[in-house]
Chain A
Amino acid sequence: GAGVSQSPRYKVAKRGQDVALRCDPISGHVSLFWYQQALGQGPEFLTYFQNEAQLDKSGLPSDRFFAERPEGSVSTLKIQRTQQEDSAVYLCASSLTGHAYEQYFGPGTRLTVT
Chain B
Amino acid sequence: ELKVEQNPLFLSMQEGKNYTIYCNYSTTSDRLYWYRQDPGKSLESLFVLLSNGAVKQEGRLMASLDTKARLSTLHITAAVHDLSATYFCAVAWGGNQFYFGTGTSLTVIP
Contact = CB atoms under 8 A, between A and B. Distances in A.
B45 A42 contact: no
B96 A55 contact: yes
A87 interface: no
Contacts of B98: 33, 35, 43, 45, 100, 103
Counting chain A residues whose Cβ lies within 8 A of the other chain, the interface size class is: 20 to 34
A105 B35 CA distance: 10
Dominant secondary structure of chain A at its interface with chain B: loop
A77 to B, nearest CB: 16
Contacts of A98: 96
Nearest to A43: B100
Nearest to B99: A45
B68 interface: no
A18 interface: no
B103 A42 contact: yes
Interface in A5-52: 31, 33, 35, 40-45, 48
A38 to B, nearest CB: 10
